[in-house]
Structure 1
């Protein structure tokens, strides 16, 4: 149940913005991640997500879209997760 809530919150908090580099413009997509960082599953999920993004952009460095990961600790409380 907690993982389902996390995924719903993750995909409902996608916002986009524009950021500028010296050699051009790239689009930044802000993704919010709300997990219980006190649990092992939450720590694994946050680390896995960060590593997956890092690996993706290392292999596909020509992409002009960048995902900016912002995480928040739900402290195991669903109301805090919903408030995020």
Structure 2
């Protein structure tokens, strides 16, 4: 089973990478971009076949390692 984790900074947390991308887009002539938030996607290939167990396991991975839950939020997708 494949799991995909989307990790983003929480609202209100300064995103310097997103701001740099927004500025660069403006410099390239892409006007009207008011805000950019940059995140990351982590793909995991799991041996688990039970979706509920897989989701529980991936959430535990996020809480312990994959996301800094103080400043980041995450969402889990299973395929």
Fold conserved between structures, TM > 0.5: no
TM-score bin (small chain): 0.3 to 0.5
TM-score (norm 2): 0.35
TM-score (norm 1): 0.33
Greater helix share, structure number: 1
Select the structure with the greater relative contact order (CA < 8 A; seq sep ≥ 6): 2
